[in-house]
Amino acid sequence: MLRDHFEKKDELLQAALIEFSENGYEHASINRILTRAKMSKGSFYYHFLNKEALFTYLVDTVVEEKIQFLKEKTTSRLTEKKDIFEILEEQIRYAYEFGRLHPLYTQFAQSLLKENNIEKLSELRKNAEKQTEAFFRSFIHSGYEAGLYDRRFSEDFIIRLISFLIGHAYEFLTFSFDVETGTWEHNLSTLILFLRKGFGIAKPESIAGQPDNLI
């Protein structure tokens, strides 16, 4: 499979994004993709072995572009001092911004959440979780050592929680282009407030009738 630019590459990838998003991997049709892209079968099979190869390339492309986007955004603001909650909110906002800039990528990514029988996706999810944990671990460790988080929660628990939220932000905050901007802004602010109250430096208020050492 060639990763360099080739004729009708952009048309092919856009057609594939639409097809896989609308029909899922199992029911996606190479014929429909080629018809939409106005590309011949000979040209397609010169670059890709089969549907799986195209799907894998598409997933890799989306992931690589998103990671690069987030890295560029984060690097440009590394000198600013932020706590873990501000960093988390910032990363989710960047992810949302990326989705706004690339709506087909977002639709494709949302469709991937429904795919459970593709080995490649399983590997990607594990790698994504590891990258997210690695990114936040240093911030969380520093804050934990400095006593910024409630010690009733372990450092590993906080890392796993944040990694899960980052990986499922679209679902948890109903990040969809059918949702009004004000709605997801409110949902995000509510989530960050909840986390600050949940394991931030200030102890969360006890639930009525339950002792502080319940957790």
Domain assignment of residue 172, yes or no: yes
- Total domain count, the chain: 1
**Least reliable range by pLDDT among 9-13, 110-114, 199-203:** 199-203
- Return d(Cα 13, Cα 182) in angstroms, integer: 32
Domain assignment of residue 8, yes or no: no
- Return d(Cα 162, Cα 85) in angstroms, integer: 10
Domain assignment of residue 177, yes or no: yes
User: What CATH number is attached to the domain comprising 180?
Assistant: 1.10.357.10
Cα→Cα distances 71→65, 80, 135, 170, 182, Å:
10, 15, 11, 19, 26
Give just the sign of the alpha carbon dihedral 147, 151, 153, 157: positive
pLDDT (mean) for 171-196? 75
Give tens-digit pLDDT for 40-89: 999 999 999 999 999 989 988 888 888 888 888 877 665 567 788 888 88
Domain assignment of residue 23, yes or no: no
Domain assignment of residue 215, yes or no: no
- Return d(Cα 135, Cα 91) in angstroms, integer: 11
pTM as predicted: 0.69
Give tens-digit pLDDT for 28-41: 999 999 999 999 99
Q: Name the maximum alpha-carbon separation found in the chain.
A: 71
Domain assignment of residue 111, yes or no: yes
Domain assignment of residue 70, yes or no: yes
Residue 214 pLDDT more than 50?
A: no
Domain assignment of residue 184, yes or no: yes
Range of the domain at 182: 58-202
Give tens-digit pLDDT for 128-165: 777 778 878 887 888 888 888 888 889 999 888 888 88
The answer to whether 214 and 207 are in contact (CB under 8 A) is yes
